[in-house]
Amino acid sequence: MNFLHVKANLSEKSKRTIAIVIALLSVYIIWGSTYLGIKIAIETFPPFLMAGIRFLIAGILLYGFVFYKEGVHPKLIEWRDTTIIGTLLLLGGNGLVVIAERSIPSSIAAIIIATVPLWMIVMGWLMKIQSKPNISTLFGTLIGFLGVAILMYPSHQENLHFDTGGLLFTLLAAILWSLGSIYSQKAILPSSTMLSTAMQMVTGGAVLVIVGTLTGEWQHLDPEAFSSRSLMAVLYLIFIGSLLGFSAYVWLLKNVSPYLASTYAFVNPIVALFLGYFFADEVMSIKSLIATVLIISAVVMITLFKAKGRSKR
């Protein structure tokens, strides 16, 4: 009986380990691939409407699933705060990335978005939400911003120069995503993480559609001009990028430490870099590789230091 009990425990542990590895790989690859998906989708779709439709459909489907499982009715104040967060994350964070990818490689957008943890440290300190960064955190932040500076620095070599407007849009997207993430820590949200995210997708998607309407994108929405690869990219972003990727991430948050779950921030830029190079003929320059190494090193340094600090408490 003891042997059977030990064998059963080992089996359960092995299954859990396999599930964690699959979930991590899903978040790494799926979220890293969404940058290329966006690049392909906006070849024939207007950017704001594409992003808005993506999140509206994903949000409605997720909301329906959560409501069916839990039967929860969100409060009005919860809708208010999820609307604010959804606007900052999806209009500001994602919408500006979509606009930026019209003029910069998808891999470069992913590299800049990887600076979100750095911006959160700076903004948290300036807003007096967090204590002053220690030497290790400050050093990591400086390394990360050095990587951004290398990307932003103009080069006379054509294949090393990236559109300044696109870079600035992506940088602003990272800042707004960070602001939305910080606001979410104090916001009044539903106890269900999945419900909260569904509401953010619905409200943020609606705001994106409104902005697309105000900027006249409906006039450029021509279903006959949609390419099959753009349609496939939009479907991929809805069902794989938003629903499957998010489900894997939520499962990880409940089953592993938040620091292990957050390691997607280290891997996504690398995935985006290689996917852009192999499938979109994007340039993999020494400049972008150096920036990638610096930014990812900074995020790893800061995240591991936080994990170590928490484990000592």
Task: Give the Cα separation of 187 and 81 in Å (integer).
Answer: 6
Residue 156's pLDDT band (cuts 50, 70, 90): low
Residue at 105 is within a domain? yes
Task: Report pLDDT for 3.
Answer: 47
Residue at 189 is within a domain? yes
**Within 10 A of 225 (CB to CB), how many other CB atoms are there?**
11
Residue at 64 is within a domain? yes
Task: Give the Cα separation of 47 and 208 in Å (integer).
Answer: 9
Higher pLDDT, 145 or 125: 145
Residue at 8 is within a domain? no
CB contact set of 161 (below 8 Å; sequence gap of 6+): 154, 155
Task: Report pLDDT for 265.
Answer: 79
Tokens matching residue 234: 């939009």
Mean pLDDT of 86-95: 96
Cα–Cα–Cα angle for 66, 73, 182, rounded to 5 degrees: 75
Cα–Cα–Cα angle for 103, 284, 146, rounded to 5 degrees: 80
Residue at 6 is within a domain? no
Asked whether the CA dihedral 212, 280, 88, 251 is positive or negative, the reply is: positive
| Tens of pLDDT, residues 182-206 | 898 889 999 888 899 999 999 999 9
Q: Which domain holds residue 224?
A: 26-311
Residue 6's pLDDT band (cuts 50, 70, 90): very low
The counts of H helices and E strands in the chain are 14, 0
Task: Report pLDDT for 161.
Answer: 63
Task: Give the Cα separation of 157 and 311 in Å (integer).
Answer: 47
Say how many domains are in the chain: 1
Out of 8-12, 24-28, 140-144, least confident range: 8-12
Return mean pLDDT, the chain: 87
Burial class (CB in 10 A: 0-12, 13-18, 19+), 65: middle
Three-class secondary structure of residue 273 per DSSP: helix
Residue at 20 is within a domain? no
Residue at 43 is within a domain? yes
Q: Yes or no: say if 98 and 47 are a contact pair by the CB < 8 Å rule.
A: yes
Higher pLDDT, 152 or 56: 56
| Tens of pLDDT, residues 20-67 | 889 989 999 999 999 999 999 999 999 999 999 999 999 999 999 999
Task: Give the Cα separation of 100 and 221 in Å (integer).
Answer: 19
Does residue 260 carry a pLDDT above 80?
Answer: no
Residue at 83 is within a domain? yes
**Within 10 A of 43 (CB to CB), how many other CB atoms are there?**
13
Residue 308's pLDDT band (cuts 50, 70, 90): low
